[in-house]
Structures are given as structure tokens and as C-alpha cells.
Amino acid sequence: MSRLSKKDSPVKRFNWIDDLWDLRSINPNFDRRDSRYTVNFDNIAPGWFKNEAKKYIHHLCKSENSFSTIINKLNNLRPFSQYLVKNNISTFDEINRSLVINYLSQEQRIDKDKLCALREFFTLGNIGNWFNVEPDIIRNDDYPKRHRGNPDPISNTVREQIEQNLHRLPDPIARMWLIGYFSAMRPSELALLKQDCLVQEGQNWKLVWHRKKTNDYHEIPITITIAKVVQEQQEYIRNLWGNEWDYLFCHYYNLSDIDPSQSNLKPIKKILPGQVRHPLSTSICTLIKAIDIRDENGQLAKFTPKLLRSTRLTELFDQGHDLSVVSAWAGHKHFVTTSTYYTEVSCDLMQREAGHIHQALVNSDGNRISYESFPKSFWDNSVAHKLEVGATHINTPIYGYCGLPLDQDCYKFRACYTCRSFVATIEKLPQYINTRNELRAKSVKAMSAGQEVLVEQFGRQADQLDKIIAGLQQEVA
């Protein structure tokens, strides 16, 4: 049987008492990129522990964790189970914090993954009433400290040389680079990108895709050139297999390590693999060797598909987009994720930038608001959201932004300072103070003229401006 077709092998029927489980029988919606699909409880002992380990693995599988994650988690429980046997531990009642500490102290190196799996197992066991152990049997302090460095993006010199030579690669591989790079997708997202990812809205195009890591849909605006690249790839796949293949990309046989043109490439209906023999990785590395692409230090360049994302996000920042735009492009929920892991700009600068953004914006109640809570168009085209209405003898001047999505109608126009969608900005603080003072003066005048409606109207706006001013002043204090 072919190595590549083993996922199509018959699914072994699920039986709890077996020691060899075919995970496909528990989760038929498994990730097609998983190349392994069985777990073996053979050397998990003692029996009472094995039974609970089975519950844990069954739960992970039902929760649609990837098979590789599940297999790794079981492997990470194995040394602890052997420790139990060696120390004649016979029930869960004997598993306590001091036993865990003894177990950790006899390990040559505390492996974070082992500890995570064990902690998760204990936590789920307690929650599911499978057994009872001390809730803090493993604590945060037990984990080895690990410093995660920023991924080194591909340098501009290297990237430019690769891009100038993309024509030497087969077209679908070059398209993989172009789409992956432009979108800053994770390699797993690129692999599972569906053919219907391209959406046209009037003159504009966007790419929409599902993200497994965050289990949501993400979209980014794309240029007409990238839209054309996507269309060419759609056509290529349709010509190969009609409607039989849902994905935009596929895997290949006969990848060469010496010929960048990959002249013997044979497409196969298989999801792009995780790392080993990834067609983009193999092709770009072959190109690097063939035309001797070197970095600034004279070293032969290195490439993995993972680098496309960090390189693209760093480039967006270098191009002058602010952190909020880069963060939105990446689909990060927090700026700090973008700043810590995906851009090579100094973290201090990022923190200051993020701080500045957070400080600068408050709502009509004077409370700080984050960029993330705004519609996407706010980042792409903040001018469209800008409010700059000068004063007339009737109107109150309005300065700031409207946070309402552009496709929604405003029913309160000119009452922005009392509107929940209003966004006040720090640069306009002097104008807010002037406006508030003028409103108070108008209110006094209206009162002496007996114009009660106007008194209330001016007063309400002035009260909101008090809150906005106080909020902004607090932010800059």
C-alpha cells in the first residue's frame, strides 16, 4: 500500500478494551493533514491509570484535537505511568503533590510538554469526576522557564532575490508563495485554504478563510493582482480535478532537490504536509541552492513556509502601517501577540505605539476603548470615519471619529457627544474643552431667555464632554 494513501485504509472499529485505537473511529472529521491516526496504550500501566488515560484520550479526540496532538499527549503521560509502576503506586489516592515533585526531580530535564499533558490530564480528571487529585498538584512555578525568541523574518535581500526568481518555479508553487506571503497565512491555513476563498465586493476583493488555531473565519482585503493569482490557481485545480478537490492547493510527487523548475512534478489529491517535503519549502530551498541566494552575512539563505507570516507582518509594519493594522491583518486579538512574535521592530517601540493608541481613544462616557472593538474599515480607511463638523451659530462643532460600521445608518447625526458610537481622540482635547465651555455659556444664556429645551440640550452635551475630557486627561496623566 502506498505511504500516501494510508489514510484511506479501512477504519478499525472502536472498542474501549482494545489497546490499539484507531482515532478515526472516534473523530471521523479529522484533519486530513494528520499522517498518524492510531494510539497505543500497550505500555501505559498500571491498569487503573490506563483506564483513566483512555478517558483522557477519548475526550481529546471527541474535542477534535489533531491526531498528532493526541498521540503526543499520550506519549507524554507514558513516563509518569512508568514511574507509578516503579514506585508501586496503586490508586489515585496516592497521587499527590509530593509524589509529582519526586517524579519531576528524578527526570533529567523537565519537559514542558510532559508537564502540560499531565496537568491537563489531572484537571480534566477532576472536572469529569474520573478521579480526584489536589487541584494545584502541578503549579505554574513547576514549569521550566522558556524564552521564546522572535522568529527571524526573511531579510529583504533574500526575499527580493527569491521573488525575482519565482518564474523559475512551477506556476502553482510560485502562486503558493504569492498568496501565502501576501496574506500572512499560517502554513496550516494555506494547506486548508478552500477554492471558494475569493470574494468580490463591488470593485474590491478579499480573501476569506477558516483558521483552525482560533476556530474562526478571517478575511483580508487583497489587490486585484493577488485576486488574479487566486483565480489562476482555481483554474489550475479545476483543470486537474474538476469539482473533486475542495482546496486551492495540493501536494506533489517527484519533488526535486536540485531542479528548481521541478520538471517531473506530479500533483496528487492530498493536503499540503506539515513540514517534511512541503512543496513550497523544497522548491524554495532548491532555488536558493541553485542560484546561490545568500543573506547579508554571506550565509546560504534558509527558508520554511512558517517564515512567510513573520516576514509579511514585519514588512507591513516597516511600510509604516501602525500596529493596529498589522495586528488586524494577522488576526491577532491582542497587539502584544503581534509585537512579541511577529515583528522584528523593537518591543519597546511596539509597547509605546500600543500604549499611545490605547491612551488616545475614549468613548462618549470617557472610557478607554481599543482599536480592536472598531469595524475593520476604521483601520483601512479611518478618514471615512472621521467627524470634523465646524461650528455655526446653531450647531455644536464635532471632532473625533464615528465608530459605526460604514454600512450602518446613523440615526442621531449631530448628537455625537451623546452617542455610544462616538470616539474621542486626544489631539482634539483643546477643542473639546472649548466646546464644553461654549455649551455651558449657551446654556446659561438659554436659561435666562427661558428656553428650557435648549438648556437641557446644551447641558446634556456639556455633561458628556465633561466625561470625555476627564477620560482623556486621565489617559495622558
Footprint on this chain of ligand SF4 (rule: CB under 6 A): 402, 404, 410, 412-413, 415-416, 419, 421-422
CB of 219 to ligand SF4, least distance (A): 24
Distance CA 340, CA 344 (A): 8
**Which CB atom, from 97 or from 376, has the smaller least distance to ligand SF4?**
376
User: At its nearest, how many Å lie between ligand SF4 and the CB of residue 359?
Assistant: 20
Q: Which is nearer to ligand SF4, 350 or 402 (CB)?
A: 402
Cis peptide before 79 (omega within 30 of 0): no
Each residue of 164-192: b (16+ CB within 10 Å) or e? ebbebbbebbbbbbbbbbbbbbbbbbbbb
CB 130 within 8 A of CB 95: no
| φ, ψ (nearest 5 deg) of residue 204 | -105, 155
Nearer Cβ to ligand SF4, position 173 or 360?
360
What minimum distance in Å lies between the beta carbon of 400 and ligand SF4? Answer: 8
In angstroms, what is the minimal distance from the CB of 75 to ligand SF4?
A: 55
Residues 305, 186 contacting (CB under 8 angstroms): no
Minimum CB–partner distance for residue 437 and ligand SF4 (Å): 21
Contact partners, residue 50, CB within 8 Å, separation at least 6: 41, 44, 81
Which residue's CB is nearer to ligand SF4, number 329 or number 422?
Answer: 422
User: Which C-beta is closer to ligand SF4: that of 99 or that of 415?
Assistant: 415
What's the angle, vertex CA 250, arms to CA 249 and CA 254, rounded to 5? 135
Integer Cα distance of 291 and 167 in angstroms: 13
- Would you say 250 or 462 has its CB closer to ligand SF4? 462
Three-class SS of residue 27?
coil
Shortest distance, CB of residue 396 to ligand SF4, whole angstroms? 12
Kindly tell me which of 333 and 412 has the beta carbon lying closer to ligand SF4: 412
Q: Choose among 282, 226, 285: nearest CA to 254.
A: 282
C-alpha to C-alpha distance for 162 and 177, rounded to whole angstroms: 10
* Beta carbon of residue 411, minimum distance to ligand SF4 (angstroms, whole number): 7
